[in-house]
Amino acid sequence: MFYIKSINVNLFNGKFNQIIHFGPNLNILSGVNGTGKTKVLQLLKQGTNVTVEPQSIQFNQIKVIALSPKRNAEKRAQQSLLSFIRTTNLPNKIQESLGKQIRDETYDSYPSFAELFCLKFEKLRSQDFQSKFQQQTLDEFINRINSEVMGFILPNYRLEASWNTTNDSLDIKIYKESANDYVNLENLSTGEQELLSLAFNIYLTKEEIDIFLIDEPEIHLNWTIEKNLFNFLKEFSTNYQKQIIVSTHSRIIFYNSFQDYVTYLVWEDGQIKVKNKVIQEYKEKIAGESVALLSVIQPDKKTLFVEDNEHEITIRALLEIYDKSGKLEIIKLSGGSGMIENFYKIVKQNPDLTSFWTNAYFLQDGDNKHSSLRNGFIKLQKYSIESYYLDLEILSALLNKSEEDLRKQLIDSIKKNKGKIAGGGKNAIFLEQLIEQIENINPEILNTLDCSQFFDDFVGVFGYKKEDFIKKYIQKAYELRKLEEIFDQELINLIKNI
């Protein structure tokens, strides 16, 4: 068995000057962005400052492949695959085709699952069956794949293939057991297609390759198949005595069964250091808050995930109004609207997690965007939560000001902050000009503006801090019996029915 034992890294003008040691099988390289994970893989691929085992061989005698799902595998129509392979003489160029170099900051794309499967089949057929292909050999090949690959990465799926003697082609199908039906390769999700391509590039090249370098394989994957992939990598590296070195942000670093395989790159005192163990907080930074939450959530208690402080302040104030304080868990996800949506998809569209997350709800600002997400996903009808605190009738009762004076103050605050409201996009100048020409303000305008950009300025004129203002406004709206009129009914129903 050939493998890389260590590498002496000197990057970023000496800020990353460390020796990294590797085991002969699976190795997981983890760290926040900017710690040089991909750079390390580049050096490993080039053989720069590496020591290898056994010491009697040179690095250039080792066959290394570099794979990255960041570069989508090239897709070809299934029926044209064999023709493509034969006309390009690809079987005789397998090392050239698969042993991709890391060039500059990128990887070359690697063959798709279907393409590589056909390549391997063609090679098998040409070697063993010069005169006539036998379906039995294909069946044996398929059985090994289902047992050693599909059983790990997509256990609910089964690969089937047959030789079509009519048009001299290979028919590939995937049977989905839970649906009791067949799935076309083209209809698989992006994550499933990438998973198949990556796993098959590893499995079907095991005779040609000694070391597999993989950069962020979790791209496109939901948590279930991400975990399946790492289980496959672990099993494959042990069974076939192959070294795999993976750079990743994966949540797999939280699993005890993978702790011995992880090396962390950590910024410490202005230097990047190599660590075998790190504190939980650092793991959360690597993998994102969604990972940590998977292990701390209370599935027996209703929990609402919100995107910022204003959401949290609002929900707590509403809970007090309806005497529901303490009955709803509130968790803020840093990362804003995008994190809310991503985390929802992780836990609500994942069969392995759904049953544990029936009490999970997600709150997202409207942002002038439509969302098709349902089942616990609450998309506000207004642009931002601050838009709900600008009803002139309620403001007048709370601040003891006329609605006309408040309207003028709103316009003044909007114009004062027009640059922030318009943002930095290509339409910024146009939006600033529109804002400058506003002579009146009405609910339709306020509902579509990012009111968070001028809200602090507006309430500050009246001597309020945002949190105190929100609480008093909600109380006043309740007294005026307008609370359920101004807030989305879906949100009110959630709080009232806890």
3-state secondary structure of 126: helix
Calculate mean pLDDT across residues 299-307: 80
Say what the pLDDT of residue 498 is: 85
3-state secondary structure of 51: strand
The average confidence (pLDDT) of the chain is 81
- Greatest alpha-carbon span in the chain: 95
Calculate mean pLDDT across residues 171-190: 78
Instruction: Give the helix ranges, DSSP H, for 71-186.
Output: 81-88, 94-98, 113-128, 135-145, 151-153
Q: Cβ(357)–Cβ(350) under 8 Å? A: no
Measure the N-to-C terminal CA separation of the chain; round to a whole number of Å: 60
Q: Which carries the bigger pLDDT value, residue 405 or residue 287?
A: 405
Taking alpha carbons only, the member of 171, 187, 168 closest to residue 75 is 187
3-state secondary structure of 333: coil
Calculate mean pLDDT across residues 80-105: 38
Say what the pLDDT of residue 472 is: 96
Q: Which carries the bigger pLDDT value, residue 140 or residue 458?
A: 458
Angle between helical axes of 113-128 and 135-145 (0-180°, round to 10): 140
CA distance 143 to 276: 39
Tokens of residue 411, six digits: 């316009």
The 8-class DSSP code of residue 335 comes to T
Give pTM, 2 decimals: 0.57
Tokens of residue 251, six digits: 């949540």
Model confidence band, residue 412 (pLDDT cutoffs 50, 70, 90)? very high
Say what the pLDDT of residue 426 is: 60
| Residue ranges of E strands in 23-62 | 26-31, 50-53
What topology does CATH give the domain 1-62+210-286?
Answer: Rossmann fold (3.40.50)
In the chain, residues under CATH classification 3.40.50.300 are 1-62+210-286
Calculate mean pLDDT across residues 285-305: 63
CA distance 380 to 307: 12
**Cis bond before residue 54 (omega within 30° of 0):** yes
Reply yes or no on whether the pLDDT at 50 is more than 80.
Answer: yes
